[in-house]
Amino acid sequence: MKKVFVLLICSLLLHPVAFAQSAPVGDKWALVIGVSKFQDSSLDLKYPAKDAKDFCDFLIEKANFAPDHVKLLVDSQATRSRILTEIGDSWLPRLAKPNDLVVIYFSSHGSPSQMDLEGMNYVIAHDTSRNALFGTGISLQDLSSIIQSRVHCDRIVLILDACHSGAAKTKSDGKGLVRQGNFDIGQIPMGKGMMIICSSEPSQVSWESKKYENGVFTRKLIDGLSTRGQYTKLPEAFVALKTGVQTEVLEDRGELQQPVLKSSWKGDDLVLASKPISPRTLPDELKGNGGKVEIAIVPASSRIPIINKGPMVDRISILPVVGPTKVKMDAIWQGFAQKDNLDVTKRLLELELDKKIEVEFQKEVKHHLRNRDVVTGDLQSKYQLQMEVLEVELQDNYMGDIADMRLSGKLINAESGETLWLLKSKKFSRLTQAKHDDSIFSEITNYFPRAMAKELAKTIVTAIKDQ
């Protein structure tokens, strides 16, 4: 017993952050910011203020955040000074304790590093001037440092629906200031227990929906966080978010938008809707507004595009793979997954199944098109190949484990919008010798990408050559 106790104490001393993040959530706080209307009206967007209001309502109504623990700032309320004061001075630093949970959400423009003399990236506040970003914008790198140093909490989730930020305003309903480049969250300093979710990759647009009055990212974020109600873990919500955003934007616009997650989390997976074990009563001067603010949707005619999409380059681009969208398991596999708390989708993504499919298709297509350039993730390429892993199925078998994977795909001519090749669904199978062992996932992520690419690449290349 003494040895066990000593080992436990040593474990807590060696991994205090992981222990803190695995402990129950004491209390929960959220600062939610959305800017649709700017002092510079040429920057106006349509839905960010509504996105922020809807996310605020979700936190209160579905995610167990107390109304007076949530503060919403929209449009003229969301000045640079007000935002930094709420984060670094008057609100969050006076409330959040180490075992609490803090969520900070932005929906606005963002600026790419090319717009600043020193190559910094900025979130755009209501009163930001595009010609004086250093003095009027909020540096993303500084924002991260301020949160780390002044918000005394070991669980912080920062959500940026800001074109990640400023990838483009290629059309009137994409967010951003200029087309070329923007910030990469890989460059953001991460504190202990911090998680950042961005709405798109550095070169992409974050789109407002054609179907409903929201940005696609925020609507799919709320949907993802609702996957299993109040038991939804953030990693599984992110998988649903990523798949939902990619699918809708590709179907509606023929463009790619891929949300990104970066985390320094060391404890158990976070459940955003978990009930706080030590909710606190606040004095009136510290109470949040609970989202009780008026918002207005900016008319589409006032959203002025700043730059148009450039010409297509005559090459082939393998776009980021979507999915796995669905995982099926027989009863034996379900028992195994439950016993080991195994998230199959998360494990496959950790082993970079999607990236390996991209690499193998790039390799095989290039092999058949020796004189053509084949790249990955480039939206300016004339020919764009998009694939989705529709389903992964795992079954126990007396000879081993059977793994099935269904793939769909589409090759388009991005200049004309014509679909050159379409694969609705194709099943690939593998009998593995790994029995309910993590090595099965390594085998799956190595075998299937090669098998898929070798079988399909020649047909894809034929469709390109026929042009």
Q: What is the pTM of this model?
A: 0.60
Here the contacts of 398-401 (C-beta below 8 Å, separation 24 or greater) are: 399/431, 400/431, 400/432, 400/433, 400/434, 400/435, 401/333, 401/431, 401/432, 401/434, 401/435, 401/436, 401/440
Residue 163 CA to residue 198 CA, distance in Å, equals 8
Taking residues 222-245, report their average pLDDT. 92
Query: Between these two residues, 6 and 461, which has the higher pLDDT value?
Result: 461
Q: What is the pLDDT of residues 140-189, one digit of tens each?
A: 878 888 888 889 898 999 999 875 333 333 334 555 433 233 344 554 54
Q: What is the pLDDT of residues 41-99, one digit of tens each?
A: 878 888 899 999 999 999 999 999 999 999 999 999 999 989 999 998 889 999 999 99
Half-sphere exposure of 189 (CA within 13 A, CB side): 11
Which H/E stretch holds residue 238? helix 234-253
**Cis peptide bond N-terminal to 200, omega within 30:** no
Residue 229 has pLDDT above 60, yes or no: yes
Distant-in-sequence, close-in-space partners of 294: CB < 8 Å, separation ≥ 6: none
* Helix runs in 254-290, H state only: none
Query: DSSP string of 408-443?
Result: EEEEEETTTTEEEEEEEEEEEEEEES--SSTHHHHH
Percentage of the chain with pLDDT > 90?
35
b/e sequence 15-41, b meaning 16+ C-beta within 10 Å: eebbebbeeebbbbbbbbbbbbbbeee
Report all structural domains of the chain as residue ranges with CATH numbers, in order of start.
23-302 (3.40.50.1460), 313-465 (3.30.160)
Whose CA is closest to 445, among 316, 324, 340, 334? 324
**Cis peptide bond N-terminal to 324, omega within 30:** yes
